[in-house]
Every structure is written in C-alpha cells, then in structure tokens.
C-alpha cells in the first residue's frame, strides 16, 4: 500500500514514543505506506504553571490536534486514552483503542529513598502530583502526607521532585514502560489502593469521521478487550460528567463466569472522592462485555445513589 499518513502528536518524549509505536506498526502492517509525524503544541503543554483543575478539561491536551485533523493538516492523532474528553468533536471519531500496557499507577521516589509500598513513605512527606484523582486516593490512604502540584512531562516532573526535595511523585506505569524506564517505579499501587484514570494504559487513535482509508489502516490496531473496557470506563465518566477537574477513577477488565466457558463479562470498578480523601465512595459492577456503555451508566447511577453526586458538587463548588 502506498500513500502518506500524517500523525498529529504532542511534542513530549512520551507522546512522540507513543506516536512512533503507532507509526511503526502501521508501516509493518502496510508495506509501502509512508507515515509522517507532525508535532503540535496543545494548551496543556503551554500552560505548565497552572494546576490542571484550574485550566478546565475540555480538550486541554487534544483541541489543537483535533483542529489540525479537521483542517486537513493531519490524518489521525495518537493520544493517551486517559487524556481524551468523553465528548468527541463533530466530524471526528475515536477509531481505535490499542492493547493496554500496565494500567496501574506507580510511585517514583526522590531523595535516594525507595519505599516498598505506600505504608513505607516517610510520615509527613511531600508528594508532587497535579492529579485530583491521585490526590484523593493517596490522602485516603495516608492523610499525613503533604501534596503539592507539579506538572509537565515525565522528565520535568522527575526534575521538580529532585529540585524541590520531594519524597516522590505518582506516574502511570504504562508511561514508564513505554519510555523503557520501568525501573523508576519504587512500587505500583494495587487497585484496592488506587484505581487508575479512565482509559489509562491504552492509546486512543482519533481520525476524521467517515474516513474509510484511515479506518481501514488502523483497524488491525484495535484490541477488542481493551476497547470494550475503555468504552465502559468512558461511559461511567460521561454519566458522572467527570474530567480533570474532579477525582473520578475507573477500571474495567474481563472476568470469567463460573460454569459458562467462553462467556464474556466485564468487571468495572470505580471511585469518587473529595479532594482531601476524607469522603469517598467505591463500587463495582459486572455486565456483558457486549454492552460496555450500559455497564458504565449502571455503575454511575449506583455511585450517585451512594452519594457521589454530593461529593462531586462539593468539589466543583470548591
């Protein structure tokens, strides 16, 4: 197959690595295809001094990439699925979710220390994170910790940890794996301790709606188990009207059904919490893998009935 495909991407090292993974796979699958990577800076990349929650979350890391596609300057964009708003602009579509890397959050220690779990982080230590989701869940586990906002790409955040003498930060294990630096993680949080962001670990490929050529090229990249799980998580988030400004976590995965070999079901777990971690709700539900959106909506209703609406209203008002 011949022709040129232009991939729009953010310019961070991780974003480039992720786009290169997609480029290389497309070239492997379609010999003769030429793939170009086009670096585009987003609002989230430019405004690094403000906390994410203060900037708003409507396309913070995606809008400029989407504009480039709509204007015909690029053909598709590669995103971290966790960065994708639940509403996709008219004229665009999410055409693939790739197989997940390790979906967990990892603790990267500073100051030469290397705690083996969350209980071994020194009392009263300062931890850097801009994620309200991570903040809420970490403080629920360790209310003695001092949390401060740090933003930027992985390398920038690690530098800030060292410069400011912090005990560490929390990063996605998937990002460390793709950067080939998994050894930076002192430990990974269990799902009982910290549920990940919706879509975490997967790459989302976005393209112009109805672009049959691009859809045909990327179809082999679709990982169905991941796609169904992420659709359930995104339906949960959409039903809760969540985003960067509220502490919501969700993770879906396949589970076996006793006595029903080959049955496909999804288990979806979710968390909604206050900024200080003192008030939170957790719930889970199972449903047919073929109806992921219904599962996400059902669990959202369950969380709202447990008080999630009150918690989210307080967070938004604060």
Contact, 31 vs 102, CB < 8 A?
no
Ranges assigned E (strand) in 139-247: 146-148, 168-172, 187-188, 203-208
β-bridge pairing 76-80 and 4-9:
parallel
Contacts of residue 150, Cβ cutoff 8 Å, sequence gap at least 6: 128, 129, 130, 157, 160, 161, 164, 166, 169
Residues marked as catalytic? 83
Quick one: residue 280, left, alpha or beta (phi over 0 = left, psi -120 to 50 = alpha)?
A: beta
Report the half-sphere exposure of 259 (CA within 13 A, side-chain side). 0
For residue 20, CA distances in Å to 7, 8, 204 come to: 9, 11, 14
Left, alpha or beta for 71 (phi > 0: left; psi -120 to 50: alpha)? alpha
E-strand spans in the chain? Answer: 4-9, 34-39, 76-80, 92-97, 105-109, 126-128, 146-148, 168-172, 187-188, 203-208, 248-255, 265-273, 280-288
Cα distance between residue 236 and residue 140, in whole Å = 22
The HSE-up count of residue 278 (CA atoms within 13 Å, CB side) is 5
């Amino acid at each position: 197959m011949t022709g040129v495909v232009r991939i729009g991407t953010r310019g961070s090292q991780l974003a480039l690595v992720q786009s290169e993974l997609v480029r290389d796979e497309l070239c492997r699958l379609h010999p003769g295809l030429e793939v170009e990577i086009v670096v585009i800076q987003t609002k989230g990349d430019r405004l690094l001094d403000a906390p994410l929650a203060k900037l708003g979350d409507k396309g913070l890391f995606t809008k400029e990439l989407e504009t480039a596609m709509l204007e015909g300057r690029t053909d598709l964009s590669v995103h971290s699925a966790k960065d994708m708003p639940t509403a996709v602009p008219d004229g665009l579509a999410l055409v693939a979710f790739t197989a997940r890397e390790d979906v967990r959050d990892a603790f990267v220690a500073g100051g030469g220390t290397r705690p083996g779990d969350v209980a071994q982080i020194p009392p009263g230590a300062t931890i850097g994170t801009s994620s309200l989701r991570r903040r809420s869940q970490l403080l629920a586990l360790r209310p003695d910790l001092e949390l401060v906002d740090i933003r930027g790409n992985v390398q920038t955040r690690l530098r800030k940890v060292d410069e400011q003498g912090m005990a560490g930060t929390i990063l996605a294990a998937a990002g460390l794996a793709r950067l080939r630096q998994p050894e930076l993680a002192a430990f990974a949080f269990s799902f009982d301790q910290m549920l990940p962001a919706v879509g975490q670990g997967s790459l989302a490929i976005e393209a112009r709606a109805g672009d049959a050529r691009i859809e045909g090229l990327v179809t082999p990249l679709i990982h169905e188990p991941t796609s169904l799980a992420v659709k359930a998580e995104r339906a949960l988030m959409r039903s809760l009207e969540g985003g960067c400004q509220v502490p919501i976590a969700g993770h879906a995965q396949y589970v076996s059904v006793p006595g029903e070999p080959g049955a496909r079901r999804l288990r979806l777990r979710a968390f909604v919490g206050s900024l200080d971690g003192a008030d939170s709700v957790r719930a889970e539900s199972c449903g047919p893998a073929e109806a992921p959106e219904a599962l996400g909506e059902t669990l959202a209703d369950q969380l709202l009935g447990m008080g999630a609406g009150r918690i989210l209203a307080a967070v938004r008002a604060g």
